[in-house]
Amino acid sequence: MSSESEIAALIQRLALRDRAALAQLYNTVSPKLFGVCMRILRDRSDAEDALQEVFVKIWQRADRFSLAGTSPVGWMVAIARNHSIDKLRSRKPLGDSLDAAREIADTGRDPEAHTVLKSEGRRVDRCMGELEADRADAVRNAYVEGLSYQELAERYSVPLNTMRTWLRRSLLKLRECLDR
C-alpha cells in the first residue's frame, strides 16, 4: 500500500486530469474501497458497479480534495460509503406501507429520537474513554476511517495479529461497557 502522501499526490494529479494517476490510484485503493462497498451493499455485482461509480466521483471531485487535516484514504472511503448507502436506499422500494408514508411526511427530526441518539453517542464516547488511548484510536481508525488491519499494524508499529487482538478485545470491552 502506498503512503498517505503518495495517495494524496495521486489525487492532486487527478485534479489535473492525469489518467495515469487514475489507473495508479485505482490499483492502489480499489481493494479497500471495494470492501467498503461490499460491506454496505452485500452484493458483489452491486459493489462492483458502485466501485466504478465511486472512482468516477473521485475523478470529478479530485480538485475539491484538501490536504488540510484530511486523510486521502479517509476521504475516498467516505465517498465510497456515502455512495453505497445512497445506492442501497435507492433500491429500497417505497411501498404504500405506513412506514413509507411516515418517511415522506416526516421531514423533520423526531426530538425524542434525537435525544436518544445523543444519549447513545455520549455512552459510546464514555466507553471509548475507558479504553487505552492507542486502542481507542485504533478502533476509530478501523471503524470510522476504514483503515485495514495491515494499515493499522503499520501505523502503530505492531504485528498484524497483535492489531487484530487489540481490536477484538477493545470491541469486547465496548460491548461490555455498553451493556451496563
List, for residues 65-123, the tens digit of each pLDDT value.
876 567 899 899 999 999 999 988 887 664 444 454 454 445 455 666 656 667 777 88
User: Is 102 within a domain?
Assistant: no
**Position 46 in a domain:** yes
- The pLDDT assigned to 163 comes to 92
**96 assigned to some structural domain:** no
From the CB of residue 62, how many other CB atoms can be counted at a distance below 10 Å?
Answer: 21
pTM of the model: 0.52
Average pLDDT of the residues of the chain: 83
Determine which of 40-54, 56-70, 98-112, 145-159 has the lowest per-residue pLDDT on average.
Answer: 98-112
User: Residue 68 belongs to what domain range?
Assistant: 4-91
Q: Does one domain contain both 58 and 116?
A: no
Q: How far apart are CA 15 and CA 24, in angstroms?
A: 14
Co-location of 78 and 146 in the same domain: no
- Looking at the structure of the chain, the number of domains it has is 2
Report if residue 97 sits inside a domain.
Answer: no
What's the CA gap between 138 and 150, in Å, rounded? 12
